[in-house]
Structure 1
Amino acid sequence: MAADGLFPLPAPPRRQLAPGAVHVPGWLDPPRQRQLAAACRDWALGPVPARAAVLPGGARMSVRTVCLGWHWQPYRYSRTADDAGGGRVAELPDWLADLGRAALADAWQDHAAARDYRPDTALINFYQGSARMGMHQDKDERSDQPVVSFSIGDSCLFRFGNPDTRNRPYTDVELASGDVFVFGGPSRFCYHGVPKTIPGTAPDDSGHQAGRINITLRRTGLAD
């Protein structure tokens, strides 16, 4: 029993899909979801607006992306958005990095790892309609610190695989608004993707009703 005579709240449920890969449903409460959704919409307006990146082969991604700290374009980072007008991207705010450390601490139950986590970029993806994300590895960074992912709005089918191939074995899990997914350690370079979103599943109090927002925090290692 807690010191004030009340029973402590139970810890959020955690599901480990693989070593270092942990899903924490409902980690973001509705007020924090609304705060993040509003911030993401502001960031999408500039100084570098959200855009659908063009892959080296000429195909355009179906998600729209805006970046903080460092600008990502396939498959490199820069301080300026060389494929979207050349402007310098907005800084990654300290409060968002702090949120990533808190999520990592709860997901991994490892406060030392969380204290050492220093994300320096955020990729914010907007999924609308039939937007999806093919199986890929996050390997453009020069750091193996974990990726911390927040979901807001519509749910999605998230596919988490293995570090060797885009194909099986993989695990499908539904990520809903407010969920956190962390992958690092042995799972840092596992293939993963979003085969589909599930329209109309955004909670009324999430602050985002037009598709799905996904925020991924990571450390590029480029300034080390």
Structure 2
Amino acid sequence: MAAGATLPMADLFGQRAPAREAFAPGALLLRGFALPRAEALLAAVEAVAEIAPFRRMVTPGGFTMSAAMTNCGTAGWVTDRRGYRYQAEDPESGRPWPDLPEAFRELAEAAAAEAGYPGFAPDACLVNRYEPGARLSLHQDRDERDTSYPIVSVSLGLPATFQFGGPKRSDPVRKIALGHGDVVVWGGASRLNHHGILALKEGAHPRLGRQRINLTLRRAL
């Protein structure tokens, strides 16, 4: 597929795209993989947010992120004026982040194994909540202690356009349409590739309304 092309959620006749789509070395899109577990995942998100509410974090440069975030697991990813990092306590409460829900763990392990990464055991999950207009600029996930482990990203709610580039920010970028229940796994040669989300378009999902929830499961420590 040419750089910059979009991998569609459905073909011209409205049929679902193939269940497995490799789009870069070590990177795989699993269409609808999370659908059988979607309600359990969303219930777990609600439980996590009751303990550690969503908030919009500030980057070291002073920019307030447009997506609201929370965390669960052994450590949570945070950003503030001091920099990007993982830490064991929620900076807003001073208490440990909520435990990683079993529904998250099981989905991540199954998706990673399906993508060719057996034995993946996540210890952290960043939960992003997007509303129309929210976006995430191209970046690398490199704050983890050992980047030999893959990333598992789960999409729930409104559709979004996922951008996936290369190790350099200037590398060509592919655009991948993601829908409710889609899972993206990347590791190996693509583990440190730049990626992001284009501004979420207006819409209403039957279950989540004007929201997209993204779970990004990692081995942080």
Q: Pick one of 45, 49, 58 that aligns with 1:44.
A: 49
Counterpart AA for 1:182: V
Question: Alpha-carbon deviation of 1:85?
Answer: 2.9
**5+ residue gaps, structure 2:** 1-17
CA distance in 2, matches of 1:212, 1:86: 27
Distance 1:198 1:25, change over 3 A: farther
**5+ residue gaps, structure 1:** 1-11
The 3-state SS of whatever aligns with 1:134 is strand
Q: Which residue of 2 aligns with 1:170?
A: 173
User: C-alpha offsets along residues 87-123 of structure 1, whole Å, 9 cap, x if unaligned?
Assistant: 22101133321211111122x2x3xx32x21110000
The 3-state SS of whatever aligns with 1:35 is helix
* Contact map agreement 2:132 2:201 (CA 8 A) in 1: no
Q: Which residue of 2 aligns with 1:53?
A: 57
Tell me, yes or no, if structure 1 residue 123 matches structure 2 residue 126.
Answer: yes
Paired residue total: 198
Q: Which residue of 1 aligns with 2:85?
A: 76
* Contact map agreement 2:161 2:177 (CA 8 A) in 1: yes
Tell me, yes or no, if structure 1 residue 132 matches structure 2 residue 135.
Answer: yes
Q: Which residue of 1 aligns with 2:102?
A: 94
Question: Alpha-carbon deviation of 1:129?
Answer: 2.4
Which TM-score applies when normalising by structure 1? 0.83
Q: Which residue of 2 aligns with 1:214?
A: 214
CA distance in 2, matches of 1:143, 1:98: 21
CA distance in 1, matches of 2:168, 2:140: 10
Counterpart AA for 2:109: R
Q: Which residue of 2 aligns with 1:34?
A: 39
Which TM-score applies when normalising by structure 2? 0.84
The 3-state SS of whatever aligns with 1:56 is coil
CA distance in 2, matches of 1:201, 1:191: 29
* Contact map agreement 1:148 1:182 (CA 8 A) in 2: yes
Question: Alpha-carbon deviation of 1:201?
Answer: 5.6
CA distance in 1, matches of 2:191, 2:155: 19
Counterpart AA for 2:49: A
Identity across aligned pairs (percent)? 38
The 3-state SS of whatever aligns with 1:38 is helix
CA distance in 2, matches of 1:44, 1:199: 24
Q: Pick one of 20, 24, 30 that aligns with 1:24.
A: 30
Question: Alpha-carbon deviation of 1:49?
Answer: 1.6
Computing the radius of gyration from Cα coordinates, the structure with the larger value is: 1
CA distance in 2, matches of 1:209, 1:143: 37
Compute the RMSD of aligned alpha carbons: 1.5
Counterpart AA for 1:24: L
Q: Which residue of 2 aligns with 1:192?
A: 195
Counterpart AA for 1:86: G
CA distance in 2, matches of 1:198, 1:58: 25
* Contact map agreement 1:37 1:208 (CA 8 A) in 2: no
